Structure 1
Amino acid sequence: MSTTSADTRPTAAGEPPAPTVSTLELAGVSRWYGNVVAVNDVSMSLGPGVTGLLGPNGAGKTTLLHMMAGFLAPSRGAVTLDGRPTWRNPDVYRRLGLVSEREAVHTFLTAHEFVLASAKLHRLPDPAEAARRAIALVEMESAQDRRIGTYSKGMRQRARVAAALVHDPQVLLLDEPFNGMDPRQRLHMMELLHRLGDAGRTILFSSHILEEVEQVSGTVQVMVAGRLAASGDFRTIRRLMTNRPHVFAVRSTDDRALAVALMAEASVTGVELDRTGLTVRAGDYGAFTRALPRIALAHGIRVRQLVPEDESLESVFSYLVEA
């Protein structure tokens, strides 16, 4: 596999220079524990920019990230960074940073001490300057001399991101990085990831929240039950999710009349009426939700309740597996 290099470009004050381009490759990767398959035959290529790894809890996202970071060996397949395996290859940590979901932070340290220790472990030529720059990137200067044990969860996350960025890695892996952040912290972190991706870094972050991925990344990898269910442009995947079949519970002032009217609607594939109201099966979410108010108004019916009954992430993502 060939790799390319990017010229070092000037960046905003306090930011490190743009790194050499790196590519992370997964080829037919699986990981199992006894009879449990955590990751099943996943292949993907990650280059410069921000990519979202989307999926419900338990989908295999963390296992996949740990294999990318060289913490786990694939049971089958290969994970490589610029053509070299990540497993049993400590040199990858010169080019790779990881923010794991589990908080492994010594709470008696200050943020400055924690980030400085990371800089020293990487044997950087000027660890103090590297720590100062990384802390400035996550806007933690005013709190850097407080013990991490006094921080909110969102502040601890930012300190951990600073430690992962202290050596200017070409690749940054983040597992649920927005957990515990308040709106202002989330906005800042999203802006930071955008800047790093635009500067030529390869960024992958996992999330089980669709809106987080939509706001940060245009490219998405969707994981369901250990499998790669969908991959590509976010708008295409969002359209798949929107156009999938849906089930709605509907309550109105005249359920029987509404049921009859809905059976003539093209987007409706089935209607069931019982004592609690209507269960409507729609082939197109958008078309049905636009048609329902029009139909109700035309028949003088007031809709009192419209509740999607299959809106869990597991339901949404399972549909992508079958699509």
Structure 2
Amino acid sequence: MTVIQVDHVSRWFGNVVAVNDVTMTIGPGVTGLLGPNGAGKSTLLHMMGGFLSPSTGTVTLDGAPTWRNQEIYRHIGLVPERESMYDFLTGREFVVANAELFGLATPGADAQVAIDTVEMEYAADRRIATYSKGMRQRIKMASALVHQPSVLLLDEPFNGMDPRQRMQLMDLLRKMGAEGRTVLFSSHILEEVEQLAHHIEVMVAGRHAASGDYRQIRRLMVDRPHKYTVRTSDNRALAAALIADASTSGVEFDPREDVLHVQAVDFVGFTRRLPKVAREAGIRLFEVSPTDESLESVFTYLVGAR
């Protein structure tokens, strides 16, 4: 059982704080590292993989520090988001080279197993320069798997993949998690994490925002205050009706745009109550649209809700 422990870790680059006092434990199975772009996910993954040192705090693999510890590379496979490949090599040559760097006794055979695992045999002898983004992702995956690591760290692994490739990779990661390996992948797409991860860690603006299974995180998102823009045939009458309702905490009339800005504290109650209130008052609803549904706004709420 391989466990990564992140203990009060921060990392800054000059005056920019990329990761701010993060503590989390990543164990066997598939864990999703979820957050908007720029949340600090890549920096955290690179510290887990031993490629960056924490400015403060510690990152350990089964109790051993990941920074300046060559032994951990026998146990870790890293698939970075950015391209880190030699385009003049074929896919097979690239994976074999990684097998040789790990000092494997049979690099050719081990490379073949890894290539077959990611279903890239059909293009293994083509130059990487001819690969699509999705194919590059899969051959990087093969190079990370060539030494059969117990820990796999993947940074936005589904970028550039077509639906079939995504399903193949998801099936592979599920299988690895079921085998007891520790799999951590980052994503800014909630649906990817929902389909694959049994556990979720949420990052926002360098901070650890939430932790738990998907249902727990989703419940926090649904239960948060929601802001809506509402346009009706009688905005003032609807505002008077809504302000007294327990599902809302505030209603503001914007005369310039002739709309209402409503903050709902009971998401389910508000969505049920609004059409009923409008119907009872003889008010027609022309527009009801959320104004804060971006991932950034959702995750920023989670930071404050901890």
TM-score bracket, shorter-length normalisation: over 0.9
Q: Does 1:242 align with 2:222?
A: yes
1:85 paired to 2:65: yes
1:49-97 deviation line (CA, Å, top 9, x unaligned) = 0111111111111111111111111111111111111111111111000
User: What is residue 14 of structure 1 aligned with on the other side?
Assistant: none
Is 1:322 matched with 2:304? yes
Tell me how far apart the structure 2 counterparts of residues 185 and 284 of structure 1 sit (CA, whole Å): 39
Superposition pairs for residues 168-317 of structure 1, below 5 Å? 168-275=148-255, 276=257, 277-317=259-299
User: What is the one-letter code of the residue matched to 1:218?
Assistant: H
Q: Distance in 2 between the 1:286 and 1:141 partners?
A: 50
Look up the SS of the partner of 1:228 in the other structure.
strand
Q: Secondary structure at the match of 1:43?
A: strand
Note the residue ranges of structure 2 that are not aligned, 5 or more in a row. none
- TM-score (normalised: structure 1): 0.89
Instruction: Using the TM superposition, give the Cα deviation of residue 145 of structure 1 relative to its aligned residue in structure 2, in angstroms.
Output: 1.8
Work out whether residues 9 and 56 of structure 2, in 8 Å CA contact, stay in contact via their aligned partners in 1. yes
Partners of 1:166 and 1:288 lie apart in 2 by 53
Between the aligned partners of 2:232 and 2:130, the Cα distance in structure 1 is 52
| Number of matched pairs | 303
What letter is aligned with 2:289?
Answer: V
Q: Which runs of 5+ in 1 are unaligned?
A: 1-20
Taking only the aligned residue pairs, the percentage that are identical comes to 64
Give the deviation of 1:28 after TM superposition.
1.4
SS in structure 2 at match of 1:168: coil
**Structure 1 residue aligned with 2:22, among 25, 42, 65?**
42
The aligned counterpart of 2:3 is: 23
Spell out, residue by residue over 1:168-223, the C-alpha distance to the aligned partner (whole angstroms, 9 max, x if none): 10000011111111122112211111111011100111111111111111211111
* Counterpart among 94, 98, 109 of residue 129 in structure 1: 109
Contact 2:79 2:154 in 1 (8 A): yes
Please name the residue that 1:18 is paired with. none
Q: Which of 171-180 and 247-256 deviates more?
A: 247-256
3-state DSSP of counterpart to 2:240:
helix
State the TM-score, normalized to the length of structure 2. 0.94
Partners of 1:152 and 1:290 lie apart in 2 by: 47
Conserved? CA contact 2:9–2:58, under 8 Å: yes
SS of the aligned residue for 1:116 comes to helix
Residues 259-286 of structure 1: CA deviation (Å, up to 9, x unaligned): 2332233211111223321111111223
Aligned with 2:21: secondary structure? strand
**Residue type matched to 1:37 in 2?**
V
SS in 2 for 1:306: strand
